[in-house]
Amino acid sequence: RARPASMSSFWMPFTNNRDFKTQPRLLVSAEGMYYKDVDGNQVLDGTAGLWCVNCGHAQPKIVAAVSEMVGTLDFAPTFQMGHPVAFELAEQLMEYTGHKFGHVFYTNSGSEAVDTALKMALAYHKARGEGGRTRLIGRERGYHGVGFGGLSVGGIGPNRKSFGPLLPGTDHLPHTHNLAKNAFSRGEPEHGMELADELERLVALHDASTIAAVIVEPVAGSTGVLIPPKGYLNRLREICTKHGILLIFDEVITGFGRLGAPFATDYFGVEPDMMTTAKGITNGTVPMGAVFSKKFIHDTFMEAPPGIELFHGYTYSGHPLACAASLATLQVFKEQQVLENARRLQPYWEDAIHSLKGLPHVIDLRSIGLVAGIELQSIPGKPGARAYNAFKKAFADGLLTRVTGDIIALSPPLVLEKQHIDEMFGKLAAVLKNLD
Ligand code: PMP
C-alpha cells in the first residue's frame, strides 16, 4: 500500500495534536512482534498495538478462525437470536475467569463495556428496590472510555471539558500516584493505601443509600501506568461490601494477561462484582468487549419484579467474527503458554526498564507485569512535548511506543522474547540520551 494522496483529518477529528493530524505515521502490515510502515520500515511493536495484540500480530490460529467464520456465518442478529459460538465462548470465558463470575455480556469496545456495567449497576439496585442508589464513583486519572458514562466517571479533566454537563451524580476518589514517595517503584508501592479510605469520606458525604457503584482500573493504564499501593484494592473491596456498593474493575488493559495473570483480579487477589474487558479479548483482531458480572447480579435481573424493564444490547453484541477471534485467542493463550512466557520474562523486563535510570530527563520508572511507564521531566510551559518528541524519534528508529502526557508507556505483545526486550530498550536508551 502506498501513502494515500490525501490525508484529511476526517478519520480522527478529536485531537488537538496538529503534528499528529498532519503527519500520522502509517502502518500497512503486521506480523508477530513487528509492524511495517508505509515506507517499508520494520517497527517493533512496544505497545501491543494499543494494549491489545497480546498474542502477537497475524497470529495464524486467530487469522484462520476469523477467515473461516466470515465465510460460514457473517452475522447473526442479537435479539431473540443467538449462535452456538457465542455460547461456547461464554462457557470458555467462565472457565478462563476461574468461575468467579456467573454471566458475561458482549459489547464491541471497552467504552461500551463500561457504560453497560454502569447501567447494570443502577438496574441491579432498582430491581432490588433500592432505586435511590444512582451515584457513580470513579477515580482521578481513571480512564474508562469515551461514552457519556465512562467519560463521567473518568478522571481526566481535559477529556471531559468540552462535553459537559455529563452524567449528574458522579464523584471521584483521589488518585494514588505519589511521585515523591514512589519514584522508580517496582511492583506495588508501599505508600498511599490510606487513600482508599477517601471512599469512606465520600460515603459519609453522599450517604451509602445513594451510591450504586465504584469503578477503578486496578492499574491505571492510559494515564501513565499508575500502580495501586499495597492493600489499596482490598480496602476498596471492604468498604464497598460494607455499604452495599458494587465494585467494578475496569480491566480493559489489565485483562487477558497484561500482568502475567489472566486478570488483575487474579494478580491482586481481590474480586470485583463486575469486570469490564475488551482489547486483548480478541487479540485486537475484531472489535469486542465484555462485561463479567457475579451470579447474584444476574439472578437479581432474572427475578426482577414486574415494572423493571431491562432493555440493553447492541446490534453487534456477540458478533460471530468477534466470538471466533476470542475463542481462538483463548486457545492460543493455552497452547502457546502466553501467560507463562509473560511471567518468565517479567524479571528481565523489569531490569531492562530500570536500566534507564539516570538517563537525561527520566524522573520515574514504573513496572508491573509486562507493562511499564517511563516518566520524563516536563519542559516548562510545554507539557507532554518531551515525551511526544521521544515517541517520534523512537518511531523513526523503528520502535512503537505510546505517550500520555510526559509518560512513555510500554506494553508489548506477551509473546516477546529477550531479544525484543533488548532491542526495545536499546532503541529507547539511544533516544533518551539524545533528547532535548
Ligand atoms: N477502559 C480502559 C481502562 C481503557 O484503557 C480503555 C481504552 N484505552 C477503555 C476503557 C475504552 O476502550 P475502547 O477504546 O475500546 O472503547
Per-residue confidence of the chain (436 residues) as pLDDT tens digits?
Answer: 777 766 655 555 456 665 655 567 889 999 999 999 999 999 999 999 999 999 999 999 999 999 999 999 999 998 888 899 999 999 999 999 999 999 999 999 999 999 999 999 999 999 999 999 999 999 999 999 999 999 999 999 988 888 999 999 999 999 999 999 989 988 899 999 999 999 999 999 999 999 999 999 999 999 999 999 999 999 999 999 999 999 999 999 999 999 999 999 999 999 999 999 999 999 999 999 999 999 999 999 888 888 888 889 999 999 999 999 999 999 999 999 999 999 999 999 999 999 999 999 999 999 999 999 999 999 999 999 999 999 999 999 999 999 999 999 999 999 999 999 999 999 999 999 999 9
Measure 211 CA to ligand 1 centroid, in angstroms.
Answer: 24
Distance separating alpha carbons of residues 381 and 205, to the nearest angstrom: 37
User: How do strand 407-410 and strand 371-376 relate by DSSP bridges?
Assistant: antiparallel
Measured from the Cβ of residue 210, the count of other Cβ atoms closer than 10 Å reads: 14
Q: Is the CB of 145 under 6 A from ligand 1?
A: yes
Distance separating alpha carbons of residues 436 and 431, to the nearest angstrom: 10
Helices (H), 244-384: 264-268, 295-302, 320-335, 338-354
Task: Note the pLDDT of residue 8.
Answer: 56
Task: Note the pLDDT of residue 289.
Answer: 98
Measure 435 CA to ligand 1 centroid, in angstroms.
Answer: 30
Q: What are 63's three cell numbers?
A: 487469522
At 347 the three-state DSSP class reads: helix
Q: Contact at 8 Å (CB) between 402 and 408?
A: yes
Distances (CA, A) of 29 to 57, 62, 147: 9, 16, 30
Task: Note the pLDDT of residue 13.
Answer: 47
Give residue for cell 451509602.
208
Residue nearest to atom 12 of ligand 1 (CA): 110
Measure 258 CA to ligand 1 centroid, in angstroms.
Answer: 14
Distances (CA, A) of 237 to 8, 102, 188, 271: 47, 19, 17, 8
Side-chain half-sphere CA neighbours of 135 within 13 A? 17
Query: What are the structural domains, with CATH classification, of the chain?
Result: 9-55+336-433 (3.90.1150.10), 63-335 (3.40.640.10)
Q: Is the CB of 281 under 6 A from ligand 1?
A: no
At 163 the three-state DSSP class reads: coil
Side-chain half-sphere CA neighbours of 414 within 13 A? 34
Q: Contact at 8 Å (CB) between 411 and 370?
A: yes
DSSP 355: T
Distance separating alpha carbons of residues 395 and 249, to the nearest angstrom: 33
What number is the ipTM of this complex?
0.99
Measure 279 CA to ligand 1 centroid, in angstroms.
Answer: 8
Q: Looking at ligand 1, which atom is closest to the CA of residue 250?
A: 3
Burial 20-52 (b: 16+ CB within 10 A, else e): eeeeebeeeebebbbbebeeeeebbbbbbbebb
Task: Note the pLDDT of residue 304.
Answer: 83
Measure 111 CA to ligand 1 centroid, in angstroms.
Answer: 6
Which of 175, 222, 251 to mutate for ligand 1's pocket (most ligand atoms within 8 Å of CB)? 222
Q: Is the CB of 253 under 6 A from ligand 1?
A: yes
pTM for this predicted structure: 0.97
Q: Give burial (CB, 10 Å; 0-12/13-18/19+) of 76.
A: middle
Q: Contact at 8 Å (CB) between 116 and 297?
A: no
Smallest CA-to-CA distance from 95 within 333, 319, 268 is with 333
DSSP 162: T
Tell me the β-bridge partners of 366: 373
Q: Is the CB of 338 under 6 A from ligand 1?
A: no
Residues ≥6 apart with Cβ < 8 Å to 416? 33, 341, 345, 370
Q: Is the CB of 110 under 6 A from ligand 1?
A: yes
Task: Note the pLDDT of residue 7.
Answer: 62
Which of 53, 111, 403 to mutate for ligand 1's pocket (most ligand atoms within 8 Å of CB)? 111
Measure 354 CA to ligand 1 centroid, in angstroms.
Answer: 27
Q: What are 244's three cell numbers?
A: 452495599
Tell me the β-bridge partners of 410: 372
Distance separating alpha carbons of residues 250 and 255, to the nearest angstrom: 9
Measure 256 CA to ligand 1 centroid, in angstroms.
Answer: 14
Q: Contact at 8 Å (CB) between 291 and 116?
A: yes
Task: Note the pLDDT of residue 18.
Answer: 58
Strand order in the sheet with 407-410: 362-368, 371-376, 407-410, 402-404
User: How do strand 211-216 and strand 135-139 relate by DSSP bridges?
Assistant: parallel
Task: Note the pLDDT of residue 307.
Answer: 82
Q: How far apart are the first and last CA of the chain?
A: 34
Distances (CA, A) of 309 to 103, 119, 127, 305, 312: 19, 12, 9, 9, 10
Task: Note the pLDDT of residue 233.
Answer: 98
Distance separating alpha carbons of residues 33 and 76, to the nearest angstrom: 33
Smallest CA-to-CA distance from 297 within 138, 171, 116 is with 116
